[in-house]
Structure 1
Amino acid sequence: MTIWHEHQHEPITWEAYLDIDEETRRDLELVDGYVVPREQRGRDHQKVATRLSLALEREAVAEMRRTGRAECYETNTEVDVLLWERPPTARKPDAVLHRCLPEFEQLAAEHCLIVVEVLSTWSDRRDRVYKMADYADAGIPHYWLVQFDKVGAVAIERYALTGGRGPYTHIGTTHRDMGPEAVHVTSPFGIRVLWEDLEVAPKV
């Protein structure tokens, strides 16, 4: 794992964080102006995040077609989401569904509809406590936590802001042994994802 080797004595600015080499920054987040390394992410972890991002993208495209692009949506993986600038805090969700942005505009919390973290041994507490609080404080409407095994995603916990304010309220958990549907929700729009969509190995 790439680690930023500078020892910080004081917080840095958002602009200074963006000046860090992009390859190095892939493994970093910014919390209250302090650069912190991200947790280790194995192959299966990243595969599940990618599969879910692709499934969300498929559903977003279907929604745009249905509405005649009344709203435009995009998905991303492991991209900086600026939560707030003072003190600067940016997290990198494993997957994110957000409104479309101009090419060079910074992705921020106000654009995000769903942020997803895939749980691992190293990230469980960070994702359930610190990131959950940060995403809620930033006003991101939906937060999903995904557990996985060697097959693929095995459980998805869904949280949402009630009344547009935090903290998050748990609104449902699905397990792979409950049926074929991993997710079937109506907010932020109709989304249906199957467990088979989230398997690590591709269909042959």
Structure 2
Amino acid sequence: MTVWHEPQHEPITWDMFLDIDPDIQRDLEIVDGFVVPREQRSREHQKVATRLSSALEKATIAEVRRSGRDESYETNTEVDVLLWDVPPTARKPDAVLHRCLPEFEQLAAAHVVIVVEVLSTWSARRDRVHKMGDYADAGIPHYWIVDFNKIGAVSIDRYVLAGRNSPYIHIGTTHRDMGPIAVNITAPFPIEVLWADLEVAPQL
């Protein structure tokens, strides 16, 4: 394996990025061929992402069973999503809902239905500007931004692509103070998530 080192003077290929030692690569993303360190993430940040991923998967499985859909879906956290390969750009979303893939197939933007970033002190501008632009350019249809506190998720901003080669448009924000339901949507298909599903504080 290649051990990643700095500085980087020219773009690398996707295969070169994948050859970086996994213990190092898990804290890296690649943007237009240049390796970018990921922001620092707190324990609560990680827990919120995991809770949301689990809640999305549970809701999606229930909908697939109810509707008899032919396609199957799964969720992941902090997995490389290849947005485009020339020059290579891949992000590691905090949570992602995507179509099920064969074991060794690379997860790419074309497979993704919803991509989610959880805000932190260090990531707000990157999530709201840079990653939003990258996900839109890659054609991922739904983008959510989640804010949180010590209790768990407190707000969810939802965006959808306005059309082919278009930016995201904001379609709604839910806040914990508005009631028990965090998400209740019909597109891409019916999904309901409760704020209680997204709590991270210890139960008293």
TM-score range, shorter chain: over 0.9
User: In 2, Cα distance between the equivalents of 1:203 and 1:65?
Assistant: 31
Shift of 1:203: 4.8
Q: Does 1:104 align with 2:115?
A: no
Work out whether residues 150 and 201 of structure 2, in 8 Å CA contact, stay in contact via their aligned partners in 1: no
The aligned residue for residue 130 of structure 1 is 130
Q: Report the equivalent of 2:30.
A: 30
Q: Find the residue that maps to 2:102 and give its secondary structure.
A: coil
Cα distance between partner residues in 2 of 1:17 and 1:52:
28
Matched letter for residue 200 of structure 1: V
Q: Which runs of 5+ in 1 are unaligned?
A: none
> Which residue pairs with 1:66 in the alignment?
66
Mean CA deviation greater in 54-63 or 133-142: 54-63
- One-letter amino acid matched to 2:180: P
Per-residue CA distance 1:85-135 (angstroms, 9 max, x = gap): 111000000000000100000000000000000000000000000000000
Tell me whether 1:42 sits opposite 2:42 in the alignment: yes
What is aligned with 2:193? 193
Report how far residue 7 of structure 1 moved. 1.6
Instruction: Indicate the RMSD between aligned Cα atoms, in angstroms.
Output: 1.3
2:94–2:116 contact (8 Å) kept in structure 1: yes
The CA distance in 1 between the partners of 2:161 and 2:80, in whole Å, is: 21
Corresponding residue of 2:172? 172
Runs of 4+ with >4 A deviation: none
Helix, strand or coil: the match of 1:159?
A: strand
Aligned length: 202
* Corresponding letter in the other structure for 1:135: Y
Aligned match of 1:115: 115
Q: Distance in 2 between matches of 1:80 and 1:63?
A: 26
The residue number in structure 2 matching 1:93 is 93
Question: 2:83 is matched by which residue type in structure 1?
Answer: L
Deviation at 1:71, TM superposition (A): 1.1
Alpha carbons 2:4, 2:21 under 8 Å: kept:
no
Residues 144, 158 of structure 2: 8 Å contact kept: yes
TM-score under structure 1 normalisation? 0.96
